[in-house]
Structure 1
Amino acid sequence: MTIRMLLAGAAALALFAAPALAEDYVGGAVKTAEIGGKQVLTDANGMTLYVFDKDAAGKSNCNGECAVKWPPLMAAADAADNGEFTVVTRDDGTRMWAHEGLPLYYWYEDTKAGDTGGDGVGDVWHLAVD
């Protein structure tokens, strides 16, 4: 078996391992994917999104070092609220997306679509579910 065949096989497996994306929201910036039997919010590339128990509706409390490990799902300067998705202005003036008022974040240790390593971290981080 050649290296090329091995790589092709690995690529095919990776396609099947990635979550199947379903609904599109906010112009495709947010999607849903079935992960672990739940409809989880992801970004356009299938990267899992999370919510933080210490946030308040419409207010991100994850700044500084927290935002290094939990990067926000940033919103464009011209982004506008869209149904259950709203734009939140962060303490530093940047804008991020929120779902039902709760800001959305990535987990820095998730490296591929469908990873859910941030779920349950510190008992305050959870999958963003639809």
Structure 2
Amino acid sequence: MAISRRTLFLKRRMRNRNKMRKVANGRPRLSVHRSSKNISVQLIDDVNGVTLASASSLEKGLGVVGKNNVEASAKVGSAIAERAKKAGVEECYFDRGGFIFHGKVKALADAAREGGLKF
């Protein structure tokens, strides 16, 4: 029986998340979700179960609505870094989910690092 792509994706996501749980030490998690049309990111405090900050390519203020490319991902990354600073967060863990650290996900991470977030 062949394993579906979705099942493999979920296995990758949980493997990544479980590694982070072992070393979390109360730091928030920067969780990325990439779809075929948009990219979004949340800064999540897993201890309290609260979202501290979020950014998405759906936001009109970023000027990338309807675009899903590396440039849009970079703008979303710099926006989340700015909002994290306002929330008082400097360090976090990067949760790429089941997505490969390449292309749009990498551009978002690089822009967030340039904006001052440390992971």
Q: State the TM-score, normalizing by the size of structure 1.
A: 0.30
Structure showing the higher strand proportion among its residues: 1
Q: State the TM-score, normalizing by the size of structure 2.
A: 0.31
Larger radius of gyration: 1
Structure showing the higher helix proportion among its residues: 2
